[in-house]
Amino acid sequence: MNALPLLLVVLGIFVVAYRYYSAFLASRAFALNDLNVTPAHRFNDGHNYVPSPRWVVFGHHFAAIAGAGPLVGPTLAAQFGYAPGLLWLVAGAVLAGAVHDMTALIGSIRHDGRSLPHIVLREVGPATGIVAMLAVVINLIIAMAGLAIVVVNALSQSPWGVFTIGMSIPIALVMGWWMFRSVPGRVQVLAPSIFGVIALGFALFAGRWVAGSSALAPHLVFSNHGIVILLCAYGFLASTLPVWMLLEPRDYLSTYIKLGTIAALIAGVLYVHPTLRFPAFTQYVHGGGPIIPGKVFPFLFVTIACGAISGFHSLVASGTTPKLIDKECQARFIGYGAMLAESLVGVLALIAACSLNMGDYFAINVPPAAFAKLGLTSVHLAEFSRLIGEPLAGRTGGAVSLAVGMAQIFSGIPGMAGLTSYWFHFAILFEALFILTTIDAGTRVARYVLQELMGKVHKPLGSARSLSSNLTASAFIVVCWGYLVWGGTISTIWPLFGTANQLMAAIALTTMTTWLVNHGRAAYAWFTAVPAAFVLVTTISAAVLSTINVFWPMAHHAGTEAQGWVEITLMSLFVFGSGVIIVSTTARCIQTLRGTPPPSAESPAIDGGRISPQPAAPYRCC
């Protein structure tokens, strides 16, 4: 099967969906209006609330939401064939994921840029809001662990990757000062952007020289545990420093690499038009796969934990992003548009993975002992290892096989065949940047939510202006997800991450459904309620099966008892908390429809008035 027509169809669907469906929702369901003063202006403090140019905010938001999920999930789901993953990525993004992201962002803007649990508290009730805070904190800890484990596997024993990724931090610090502090009262974009891209490109090419240096390379070779410590240190810094200093410029810089690579991959597929060497459906759709043991239903929908729909996005959309939005109508471009861009990343990752021979794909993603039992033979793996200069067999987790697939596509362009090693490490850089920008934003969002929860116990602990509160909350979050990564593997953490992530999406969608019903827009609530029901059914099914088949055996196996019981406890708590929230939001909707007044009103957004009920422009262009 040629990948070119598939990609063209996907691009066409995304263009139509953004042009019409997102515009309909923005105008009719949410009545977006640029006359409404956003929280970034009303609460501008130069630290967390900072009005920013829309492309900078898009860059931050896209970088924050597009982590390991759209890269690793579709790569692992290739085990089922290319058709199941492709259908879920496209249909899920258009009808569920992008709606989820845009709705959560608009809902947060209409609630002073506050978090999803705060919205639950205001729209449903205080008790449910507390449960939501606990659920969000647990979800974020699990999500950070799921994302970090991929980086650990990709950067361990790789001085080239460690050097390049490490250099992105000082480059971002320079950009942050240049963009936000060099000229008082103005945000510089063009010159810092050019500097950042050139400097990061230089770091990539210099990485090969550093990796070959006997004096420098040994200092940049870290074990898995060493990478975990470095990731925790970075997450702590990104969570505690002012948002303009490190997090926002680094995410913005990463977006250049991300979008540039996406464009290059599209161009590569258009030029090389690689053949998909996987069938549409493999025998593993019925279960028994060497990577994902379960059947395609329900495990496809939690394996591709981002790219189609992701609950983590709602936490970013109600965390850092709404505090940066300059004008309300930009929520459509940033919320719906960024999700479609992430879904496109997932489609490209699926194409790259399926362009490998099945023998090579499984030889990378399955431990050697298990691969020997599959009856498959690697075809080009030895040649890939020679060209790249690293052993590739048995490097599980999806990141390495994706990098090999991307390098193969790029090497098919005339004049690029001799640069396979550079393309491979560029792909690793691309993946690591994707993931780290999610880790930094996610840790910061978790800090916000934990501080809100701490403030319920002792009010000063809930202040984002308190240095001691910021440090304490950040340290707690980092230590928790660091512990899970320290003792976990991709096979134990990813099912937990996928299930928790999709349950969070169901929570966000039901909360936004409640918000629509509470404020007189019940006619449009179906656009969030139907995706919520589908995600809930598939995810609860996967949660039960994962507990029975993965976590329960871990808890009764010597050496993994503690990790198994921790994961069973986390899964049980999250499923129970999600059930409480979803039942409460459903009950609140029924009460409102029966005439009971909602517990809150939307925040006033215009001086002396309330949010305008009319859109600023027709839905065709809002």
pLDDT, tens digit (0-9, with 9 covering 90-100), for 188-197:
878 888 898 8
pLDDT of residue 604: 53
Taking residues 321-333, report their average pLDDT: 92
pLDDT of residue 622: 36
pLDDT of residue 602: 58
Residue 423 banded pLDDT, cuts 50, 70, 90? confident
557's tokens: 């196996």
User: What percentage of residues in the chain have a pLDDT greater than 90?
Assistant: 27
pLDDT of residue 254: 76
Q: Where are the alpha helices (DSSP H) in 273-398?
A: 296-303, 311-317, 330-331, 337-354, 358-365, 368-371, 381-388
| pTM of the full structure | 0.82
Q: At a CB cut-off of 8 Å and minimum separation 6, what does 449 contact?
A: 115, 117, 133, 136, 137, 140, 315, 319
Task: Decide if pLDDT at 613 tops 70.
Answer: no
Residue 334 banded pLDDT, cuts 50, 70, 90? very high
Q: At a CB cut-off of 8 Å and minimum separation 6, what does 225 contact?
A: 486
As a dihedral over the C-alpha atoms of residue 181, residue 446, residue 534, residue 522, rounded to 10 degrees, the angle is -70
Which burial class, exposed, middle or buried, applies to 60 when counting CB atoms under 10 A from its CB (0-12, 13-18, 19+)? buried
Which burial class, exposed, middle or buried, applies to 550 when counting CB atoms under 10 A from its CB (0-12, 13-18, 19+)? buried
Residue 603 banded pLDDT, cuts 50, 70, 90? low
pLDDT of residue 593: 92
Nearest alpha-carbon partner for 317 in 344, 342, 336: 336
pLDDT of residue 338: 93
Q: What domains are there in the chain, each with its CATH number?
A: 3-157+222-593 (1.20.1740.10)
Task: Decide if pLDDT at 509 tops 90.
Answer: yes
Residue 142 banded pLDDT, cuts 50, 70, 90? confident
Residue 606 banded pLDDT, cuts 50, 70, 90? very low
Lowest mean pLDDT among 40-49, 71-80, 306-315, 339-348: 40-49
Which burial class, exposed, middle or buried, applies to 127 when counting CB atoms under 10 A from its CB (0-12, 13-18, 19+)? exposed
Task: Provide the residue count of the chain.
Answer: 622
User: What percentage of residues in the chain have a pLDDT greater than 70?
Assistant: 95
Cα(160)–Cα(221) distance, integer angstroms: 9
CA dihedral sign of residues 205, 206, 209, 213: negative
Task: Rank 159-163, 241-245, 308-312 by mean pLDDT and report only the highest.
Answer: 308-312
pLDDT of residue 407: 85
Taking residues 383-409, report their average pLDDT: 81
Task: List the beta strands (DSSP E) in 59-166.
Answer: none
Cα(63)–Cα(442) distance, integer angstroms: 11
Lowest mean pLDDT among 115-129, 233-247, 251-265: 251-265
60 versus 338: which is more confidently predicted?
A: 338
Which burial class, exposed, middle or buried, applies to 16 when counting CB atoms under 10 A from its CB (0-12, 13-18, 19+)? exposed
pLDDT of residue 601: 62
Residue 320 banded pLDDT, cuts 50, 70, 90? confident
Q: Where are the alpha helices (DSSP H) in 356-489?
A: 358-365, 368-371, 381-388, 399-411, 420-457, 467-487
Taking residues 236-247, report their average pLDDT: 83
Which string of b and e fits 147-177 if b means at least 16 CB within 10 Å?
Answer: bbbbbbbbbbebbbbbbbbbbbeebbeebbe
Mean pLDDT of the chain: 84
pLDDT of residue 59: 80
pLDDT of residue 498: 83
Task: Decide if pLDDT at 516 tops 90.
Answer: yes
Nearest alpha-carbon partner for 412 in 259, 579, 264: 264
Taking residues 270-276, report their average pLDDT: 87
**Per-residue pLDDT tens digits for 532-556:** 999 999 999 988 888 888 788 888 8
pLDDT of residue 570: 82
Residue 621 banded pLDDT, cuts 50, 70, 90? very low
Task: Decide if pLDDT at 215 tops 90.
Answer: no
DSSP 464: T
Task: Rank 50-64, 432-446, 460-474, 585-599 by mean pLDDT and report only the highest.
Answer: 585-599
Task: Decide if pLDDT at 226 tops 80.
Answer: yes
Residue 612 banded pLDDT, cuts 50, 70, 90? very low
Task: Rank 233-242, 419-428, 429-438, 555-564 by mean pLDDT and report only the highest.
Answer: 233-242
Taking residues 61-86, report their average pLDDT: 86
CB 22 within 8 A of CB 332: yes
pLDDT of residue 107: 93
366 versus 250: which is more confidently predicted?
A: 366
Q: At a CB cut-off of 8 Å and minimum separation 6, what does 259 contact?
A: 62, 341
Lowest mean pLDDT among 54-63, 119-128, 373-382, 602-611: 602-611
DSSP 459: G
Task: Decide if pLDDT at 399 tops 80.
Answer: no
